[in-house]
Amino acid sequence: MKKINAVEMNNISMIFNKTIVANKDINLEVRKGEIHALMGENGAGKSTLMSILFGIYEPTEGTIKINGKEEIITTPVKATRLGIGMVHQHFKLVDIFPVWKNIVLGAEDTKFKQIINKKKIIEDLTKLMKEYNLEVDLNAKVKNISVGMKQRVEILKILYRKAEIMVFDEPTAVLTPSEIDGLLKVLKELQAMGKTIILITHKMAEIKAVADRATVIRRGQYIGTYDVKKTSIEELAEAMVGRKLVEVKNKYKKNTNDATLIIENINVKKHSNHKVMGLKDFSLEVKPGEIVGIAGVEGNGQIELAEAITGMVKVESGKITINRVDITNESVNKRYNKYKMGYIPEDRHKYGLVLDANLITNVALQDISSKKYSKHGIINQEKLQTNAQAVISKFDVRNADSGFAIARQLSGGNQQKMIVGRELSRENDFIIIFQPTRGLDIGSIEFIHAEILKARDEGKTIILISYELSEILSLSDRIVVLNSGSKVGEVSGKEATREIVGKMMVSAGGITNE
C-alpha cells in the first residue's frame, strides 16, 4: 500500500502580472516525518512555491494535497488550520512587543472572549519551550533579543498553532555559526517528534547534515528530487546551477604599496549598548590592491568597525585617514563622494536599499547629484537606466523588470546581488564589504567572490568582514581577528588555516604572524 505524503504539489505554476513566471509546472512530494530540502538559485521560485503552500498566493495552475486530501489554500489562516506553519526568511515580529505577545499574536487565549489570559498563555508557552527545548525570555522585548532568539520565537509561533508541517525559508541566513548548529539540532529534534519539515537553504553542509531528500528547482522549473545520502555535494550544486562550479581562491600576490586606509587606536561605543566600548584601541593599515579580512564571532566589534569607517557612528577617540587625509569627523556623504568610499552593509534592508523605490533609483542613490547622473540639477534618466541595467545584467539580478521592479519585490538573494553589484561597479578607492554573500546561492557566491578579487586586482583597498570563515580564508590577503572588541591576532592569508583562525577567535590573548 502506497504511503500518503504530507504534502503533494502537482503541476504548480505561478505567473505574476501575466508576465513574470515564478513557477512553471512544478511537482513536489514531501513524505511524512522527513526533512525535505528545497534548493535552487536566488530567484528560482522556492519562496514563491512555499508561499503558495502557506496560502499567501493562489497558484495560477495546479493542485495541492495535504495528507492525501486535495485542498484549496486561499489564506495563511486556512494553511494554519491544516497544520502548516512557515518561518519566513525575514522575521515577522513586532519589535516593541514582548516575546510572549509576538508568539500568540492573532491566536490569543482569552477570558470571556475579550481579556487576554496572560497567565494561561505564559504557562502554555513555558510548557512548549521545555517540550521542544526552545528556551527564550518570554517577557523580553523583541528589539532587545538576538537574531538567534528571534528565530526561536518564530519557531514557537508555529508550534503554538500546532503545526505538523513546518516550512523554514533560509532560516540560517542571519545566524552565527553556533546559532546555526543549535537550529539544525532543533530541526532534528522536531523531526524525531514526528514533524514534517521543508527546509529552503543554499548551504550544502546544512542539507547534508539534516535533510533526507532534496528537490531542486531552476528558473522556476522542477529539475529533480535526490536522496541526500546517495548524492554528492558536487552533484547537488551542478543540478542547482546547471554547470560545474569553479573554486575561487586568492592567489596572494606580493603587495609593496603604501597604505591607503590607516586606522589609529579608535574606540567606539557598542552598537547595542552605548555605555560600554564595542571597539577598543583598534589599529589597522590597508594597502591598495589588498583585502584584509576581519574574522571573529558575531558581536565582537565588527559592526562598530564598519560603522566607524563609514561615518555612521562617532568615534570616541582615535583617527581614521584615507590617502593621508583625516576623515574621522567627515560626513557620510563626503566619504562616499569626495573620498570615494564604497559600502556593502550587513543589513541590506536597513542600510542597503530604499525598499519602496525601484532598482534604477537604488543603483544611483549615492551618486544622484554627481556629474555622472545630473547636470545643472537636471537628472539624466537615460544614464540612470543604462547603468542600472548594466548592473542587473552583470550580476544576474532576477525578476528586475529592466530596473523598474520595486526593490521590496525581489527575493533576498537578488536584493543582495543588487547591492553588491552597485558597490563593486561604482568608482571607489576603498570598500568596506560586510557579509557580501549572505543568503546567496552557491553559483552567485562563486561569481561575487571572483568580482571581489577582481576589484582587489584593480587596486582597490578592501576590508572584508564576514562570519563565514571559509569566505575569509578564500579571499583575504591578511586576516585580522577581533575578540571582545580588541584585535587579538593577525595572520597572512597564505598561511591561515581554519584551525589557526578559529583558535584566535576564541582566545583571550593573541597571536601575530606577519
Task: Evaluate if residue 307 carries a pLDDT over 50.
Answer: yes
The one-letter amino acid at 504: M
**Would you say residue 158 has pLDDT above 80?**
yes
Quickly state the pLDDT bin for 112 (edges 50, 70, 90). Answer: low
The DSSP result for 152-184, as a single string, is HHHHHHHHHTT-SEEEEESTTTT--HHHHHHHH
The mean pLDDT value for 176-183 works out to 78
Helix-, strand-, coil-residue percentages of the chain, each rounded to 5: 35, 25, 40
Question: According to the model, what pLDDT value does residue 110 have?
Answer: 66
Q: What percent of the chain clears pLDDT 90, i.e. is strictly above it?
A: 58
Rounded mean pLDDT, 267-283: 87
Q: How confident is the model at residue 114 (pLDDT cuts 50, 70, 90)?
A: low
* Confidence at residue 272, expressed as pLDDT on a 0 to 100 scale: 67
Longest CA–CA span in the chain (Å) reads 77
Could you tell me the domains of the chain?
A: 7-241 (3.40.50.300), 253-340+429-514 (3.40.50.300), 351-426 (no CATH)
- What are 3-53's pLDDT values in tens digits? 789 999 999 999 988 877 889 999 999 999 999 999 998 888 999 999 999
Residue 64 CB neighbour total at 10 angstroms: 21
**Across 311-339, average pLDDT:** 93
Q: What is the mean pLDDT of the chain?
A: 89
Report whether pLDDT(352) > 60: yes
Q: How confident is the model at residue 417 (pLDDT cuts 50, 70, 90)?
A: very high
- Give the whole-angstrom CA distance, residue 101 versus residue 449: 42
Q: Determine whether 353 is exposed, middle or buried from the number of CB atoms within 10 Å of its CB (0-12, 13-18, 19+).
A: buried
How far apart CA 152 and CA 227 sit, in angstroms, is: 28
Residue range 89-101: average pLDDT? 87
Here the cell at position 98 is: 514582548
Confidence of residue 510 (pLDDT cuts 50, 70, 90): very low
Choice between 444 and 19, residue whose per-residue pLDDT is larger: 444
Alpha helices in 410-460 (DSSP H): 412-425, 442-457
Contact 467, 293 (CB under 8 A): no
Burial label for 229, CB within 10 Å (0-12, 13-18, 19+), is exposed
Looking at residues 455-470, what average pLDDT do you find? Answer: 93
Q: Residue 105 and residue 59: Cα distance in Å, rounded?
A: 27
Coil, helix or strand for 278? strand
Q: What is the pTM of this model?
A: 0.76
- Distance CA(417)–CA(419), nearest Å, equals 6
Query: Half-sphere exposure of 460 toward its Cβ, with a 13 Å CA cutoff?
Result: 26
Cell 493562489 locates to: 58
How far apart are alpha carbons 59 and 109 in whole angstroms? 33
pLDDT at residue 469 greater than cutoff 50: yes
Highest-confidence segment of 155-164, 210-219, 298-307? 210-219
User: What's residue 512's pLDDT?
Assistant: 41
Per-residue pLDDT band at 507 (split at 50, 70, 90): low
Whether the predicted pLDDT of 509 surpasses 50? no
- The dihedral sign for the CA sequence 358, 364, 369, 374: negative
pLDDT at 113 over 80: no
| 3-state SS track over 65-108 | EECCEEECCCCHHHHHHCCEEEECCCCCCCCCCEHHHHHHCCCC
Identify the pLDDT of residue 370: 79
Residue bearing the bigger pLDDT, 391 or 131: 391
Instruction: Give me the percent of the chain exceeding a pLDDT of 70.
Output: 96
Contacts of 501 (CB under 8 A, 6+ apart): 295, 469, 472, 473, 479, 481, 489, 491
Asked if residue 155 lies in contact with residue 125, where contact means CB atoms within 8 angstroms, the answer is no
* CB of 417 closer than 8 Å to CB of 42: yes
Looking at residue 90, its pLDDT comes to: 77
Q: Is the pLDDT confidence value at 1 over 60? A: no
* d(C-alpha 396, C-alpha 364), whole Å: 18
Report residue 330's pLDDT band, with 50, 70 and 90 as the boundaries: very high
Residue 283 near residue 308 (C-beta atoms within 8 A):
no
Instruction: Give the three cell numbers for residue 404.
Output: 523598474
The grid coordinates listed for 400 are 528586475
